[in-house]
Amino acid sequence: MTIEVTWDARLPNLIRYTFPQRWKWDEYLAGFEQELSLAQTLNNERYDVIGDFLNSPYLPTGSGINLVYNAFKKSKHQRGLVVVVTNNLLIRTMVEVGTKAYSETRNAFATTNSLTQAYAIIKKSRLPIPQVS
């Protein structure tokens, strides 16, 4: 089974990755190419991403942090927030390590353990920042 990358109908400009139980980093890279293809249809508008790992208690071997960072650099001008949804402590820790290793990603990634919370995090991130007079 491969990683599914689609528009999420619950919010506009939201791409959702649904990870199967087992997957490989080359499948992630193929999914990232799908993300870029979807994003091209937005004429440089912001989009956000949910990475749904709820069915995937597993990370493949390899240097995933570097692969994700290199993908981040290719899309950072248009991509807003990436919310990783998982109950797996290892995956949560890898996100945390990645955001510490690459400081420019600190505000670009969040983790949670439910899709409901992921949608709420993204909605909140899209609110306008109040102007201080």
Confidence label for 5 from pLDDT (cuts 50, 70 and 90) = very high
Q: Which residues constitute the domain of residue 13?
A: 4-120
pLDDT value at residue 66: 81
Tens digits of residue pLDDT in 40-86: 999 889 999 999 999 998 888 877 888 888 888 877 778 999 999 99
Contact 73, 67 (CB under 8 A): no
Residue with tokens 């998982």: 86
Determine the average pLDDT of the residues in 30-46. 93
Helices 89-101 and 64-75, packing angle to 10 deg = 60
SS3 66: helix
> What's at 32, amino acid-wise?
F
Domain of 51, CATH number, reads 3.30.750
In a domain, 24, yes or no: yes
CA distance from start to end of the chain: 53
In a domain, 130, yes or no: no
Q: Listing from the earlier edge strand, what are the strands of the sheet with 79-85?
A: 4-7, 14-18, 47-52, 79-85, 109-112
Structural domain total, the chain: 1
In a domain, 125, yes or no: no
Q: Rounded to 10 degrees, what is the CA torsion of 11, 98, 32, 84?
A: -30
Q: Does the global pTM surpass 0.85? A: yes
Rounded CA separation 119/54 (Å): 15
Confidence label for 31 from pLDDT (cuts 50, 70 and 90) = very high
